[in-house]
């Protein structure tokens, strides 16, 4: 599951020019505008990771899909993770803790970031238009003890989010009970399909079900794409 909040409003810029009218009726700047357009500023997005691996860190497919869609959307991305020990290390072949191992969240997240990563303590909202939190159990274990949409519900009273459906439907939505946990925190849950995203316009929060649903990977990828597009729209970039 992945959740997004736009942290900062769009930045404003202004410019002025002075010129006399030409015989053709247009100022030089007006004539130039026919041929040239001002460069569109890139949205500055912080991607916050919580390790590397679904059971003890960030869900790798979600993080990768987010990066692909942000790249396609022309965003400027900076990746962050906390410089703290993981809650524990899971042997992903067994789904059980590996008692003899200890790993660092920042170090593990650097695997996904290809080494280009910054300590989360240095993240400043003033430098970014949005922040994205991919899912994975690391969001619960290594960040704020809750999965990504629940993180938003804990921080913002009355926020609107989605984790997909509210019934398991024969195992298609195995984590459907999370919707009730979200409601218990005073948030509003909206039912969405795996390839959809929900936008809370008031709080500027976007969520998508992702791996809350047992679905083909390309459907999850499409849902994350919908989420990223909505986030970039909210930034106004």
In whole angstroms, give the CA distance from residue 84 to residue 96.
21
145 catalytic per annotation: no
Strand partners, 199: 206
Catalytic-role residue among 52, 145, 146, 213: 146
Say what the alpha-carbon torsion angle 165, 232, 105, 99 is, to the nearest 10 degrees: 20
- 213, with CB counted inside 10 A (0-12, 13-18, 19+), is buried
In whole angstroms, give the CA distance from residue 52 to residue 46.
17
Residue 66 near residue 47, CB atoms below 8 Å: yes
Question: CA-CA distances (angstroms) from residue 98 to 9, 82, 84, 91, 107?
Answer: 43, 21, 18, 6, 18
Catalytic residues: 146
């Amino acid at each position: 599951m992945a959740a997004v909040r736009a942290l900062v409003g769009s930045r404003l810029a202004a410019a002025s020019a002075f010129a006399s009218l030409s015989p053709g009726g247009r100022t030089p700047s007006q004539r130039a505008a026919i041929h040239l357009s001002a460069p569109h500023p890139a949205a500055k997005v912080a991607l916050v990771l919580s390790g590397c691996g679904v059971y003890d860190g960030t869900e790798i497919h979600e993080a990768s899909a987010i990066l692909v869609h942000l790249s396609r959307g022309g965003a400027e991305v900076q990746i962050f993770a906390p410089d703290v020990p993981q809650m524990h290390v899971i042997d992903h072949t067994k789904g059980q803790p590996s008692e003899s191992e200890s790993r660092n969240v920042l170090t593990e997240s650097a695997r996904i970031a290809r080494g280009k990563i910054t300590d989360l303590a240095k993240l400043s909202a003033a430098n970014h238009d949005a922040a994205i939190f991919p899912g994975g159990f690391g969001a619960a274990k290594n960040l704020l003890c809750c999965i990504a949409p629940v993180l938003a519900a804990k921080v913002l009273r009355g926020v609107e989010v989605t984790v997909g459906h509210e019934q398991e439907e024969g195992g298609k939505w195995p984590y459907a009970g999370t919707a009730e946990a979200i409601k218990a925190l005073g948030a509003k849950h909206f039912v969405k399909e795996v390839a959809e995203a929900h936008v809370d316009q008031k709080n500027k929060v976007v969520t998508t079900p992702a791996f809350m649903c047992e679905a083909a990977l390309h459907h999850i990828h499409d849902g994350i794409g919908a989420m990223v597009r909505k986030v970039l729209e909210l930034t106004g970039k």
